Amino acid sequence: MRPTIALFDIDGTLVSCGGAGRRSMERAFVEIGARTEHAGFDFGGMTDRAIARQGLRNAGLDDHDAAIDALIERYLSHLAGEVTRSEGYRVLPGVVEMLERLRALGAIAIGLGTGNVEAGARVKLTRGALHDRFDFGGFGSDAEDRAQLLAIGADRGAARLGRARSECRVVVIGDTPRDVSAAIAIGAECLAVGTGAHAADALARVGAHVAVDDLRDVRAWEMVTGG
């Protein structure tokens, strides 16, 4: 097996938080004097910092880095409670089985490629007992641009394998068109799953190398491991 770096998105790919993230962000906006409708756009595939910046702009408020940092801190202060209370929280089909099987392989680095800031990622995964499955990643706290954070995650994965990134396959697993386009932008392969808001065939049309309904599909395993 060629050395492989697998970067998993979180929301809609590993877990569904039942809207906990959106509720937390909306509460943060209200606390700074904005309205919930200022955050009424599609968050899918956006990084936390990009969501914060767009919402601040919609509200006509300061969107410089310090203001974004402050808003993210407010968001994080609500997130753990919202995730804990969320009746819609679930680990998505095939996730645990996929991760267990991958752990048995020696030539693969299993990480995250997520728009969540690192602290938020940890909160969302802890309830599903997935937080200790990943020891590295590229996060929304690393870069506001999704392609950039994936590149950072890929570099960290290569370091885990003791290889140059150019020697490794990079596979991005995600559920939105933004995941697909960011994977392509860094020269990675993309496995798209239809467990979020977008069906598998729609994700195939925007360039996913393989698109499946969920991670139980044998093609998902073949894609990540190279067959």
Q: What does the DSSP assignment read for 89-128?
A: EEEPTTHHHHHHHHHT-SSEEEEEE-SS-HHHHHHHHHTT
Give residue 1's pLDDT: 80
Picking from 40, 121, 111, the residue whose alpha carbon sits closest to that of residue 75 is 121
- Report pLDDT digits (tens) over 170-203: 999 999 999 999 999 999 999 999 999 999 999 9
Percent of the chain surpassing pLDDT 90: 94
Amino acid at 15: V
Q: 185: Cβ–Cβ under 8 A, 6 or more apart, which residues?
A: 147, 150
Give residue 124's pLDDT: 98
Give residue 217's pLDDT: 98
For the cut 80, the answer to whether the pLDDT of residue 227 exceeds it is no
Mean pLDDT of 66-83: 97
Q: Output phi, psi for 33, to 5 deg.
A: 95, 5
- Report pLDDT digits (tens) over 24-74: 999 999 999 888 888 889 999 999 999 999 999 999 999 999 999 999 999
CATH number (3.40.1010.10, 3.10.20.30, 3.40.630.30, 3.40.50.1000) of 4-17+89-225 reads 3.40.50.1000
Give residue 195's pLDDT: 98
Give residue 36's pLDDT: 86
Give residue 21's pLDDT: 97
Torsion angle of alpha carbons 172, 176, 177, 178, nearest 10°?
-70
- Is the model's pTM score more than 0.85? yes
- Kindly list the domain boundaries of the chain, sorted by start residue: 4-17+89-225, 20-85
Mean pLDDT of 141-158: 98
Residue that the structure tokens 């702009």 belong to: 57
Give residue 132's pLDDT: 94
Give residue 149's pLDDT: 98
Picking from 171, 213, 201, the residue whose alpha carbon sits closest to that of residue 9 is 171
Picking from 187, 111, 207, the residue whose alpha carbon sits closest to that of residue 147 is 187
Sign of CA dihedral 78, 177, 188, 219: positive
Percent of the chain surpassing pLDDT 70: 100
